[in-house]
Every structure is written in C-alpha cells, then in structure tokens.
Amino acid sequence: MSSSFIREFSHLWTGCLAHYHAHRNDEHLNALYEDSLRYVGLHLENDLCRSEYWSRVSLRRRLAVLLFLVDRGIVERSVRNGRHVYAPLPHAEDWVSRQPAMRPFLKPTLELVAALRHELARRARSRKA
C-alpha cells in the first residue's frame, strides 16, 4: 500500500488510533498497517474466505474494518507471546449491532468479530498442545 493511502486513511480515526495523525515518521503508521494487513490476510483468511461478503472484498477493506474496530476500542490490539493479536472485547457484537451506520454491514462485521474470536481460540489451543 502506498504511504499516501495509509496517511489519508489514518485521518478517519478519531479514537484509540487518532494519535497516528501526529506521527511525523510514517514508519510507525506503515508498521501498523503491515502488521494488521498480515493478520487479516493470513490469520483470518480461512475463516473469512467462507463468508460470501469477505471472500469478495479486498484486503484493504478487511484492513479498514479491523482498524475501524480497533480505533473505536471494540477490538484490542496487544502483544501476546511476541506477536500482535486482535481481541474483540466481550461486548463487541452488541456494540456493532447498536451502530445505526453499520446496519448495512452488520452480518459481515459480526463475521469478522467471530473470525477474530476463532483465531484467539486457535492460538490458545496451540499453546496448550
């Protein structure tokens, strides 16, 4: 992705990710995008490819929705065992369902939240094995 696209996209953030507007060095913003893109493109691919909606949209769209949820504080981005993970808060589905602007995308957004939860469960199982 181009740096100009990433910089422009970041201006939509008004919550947890808003501080990226002030970064003078694009390396931090690029690292966030690369890490998030890798997560939606690799870790969530098996779950999302089964969805009628997510199987047809670009990685950019997946990335945009994931980072929107992170920005709004509904999905927490943290480091576990040296890797970034994206964990929906317990009330994520309820929050998504209550957003009037998200009604047209309710099912796909809930599918993304479910894929995030499934990925976390897979990680937990693999650590126990």
Across the range 85-97, mean pLDDT stands at 97
Question: To 5 degrees, how large is the angle CA 118–CA 105–CA 62?
Answer: 55
Q: Do 16 and 70 meet the contact criterion of CB atoms below 8 Å apart? A: yes
pLDDT at 14 over 60: yes
Q: In the prediction, which pLDDT does 63 show?
A: 92
- Are the C-beta atoms of 18 and 25 separated by less than 8 Å? no
Residue 61, pLDDT > 70, answer yes
- Say how many domains are in the chain: 1
Entry pTM = 0.90
State which residues form the domain around 106.
3-128
pLDDT at res. 30: 86
Model pLDDT for residues 44-57, shown as the tens digit of each residue = 999 999 999 999 99
Q: Where are the beta strands (DSSP E) in 17-127?
A: 75-80, 83-88
How many C-beta atoms lie closer than 10 Å to residue 70's C-beta?
Answer: 19
Percent of the chain, pLDDT > 70? 95
What amino acid occupies position 25?
N
Q: In the prediction, which pLDDT does 3 show? A: 59
Place of tokens 């964990």: 87
What is the separation, in whole angstroms, between the first and last Cα of the chain? 37
> For position 2, what pLDDT does the model report?
55
Q: Is the pLDDT of residue 128 over 80?
A: no
Q: Give the residue-averaged pLDDT of 49-74.
A: 94
Mean pLDDT of 99-116: 96
Mean residue pLDDT across the chain: 89
94, two tokens: 């309820």
Q: pLDDT band at 21, cuts 50/70/90?
A: confident
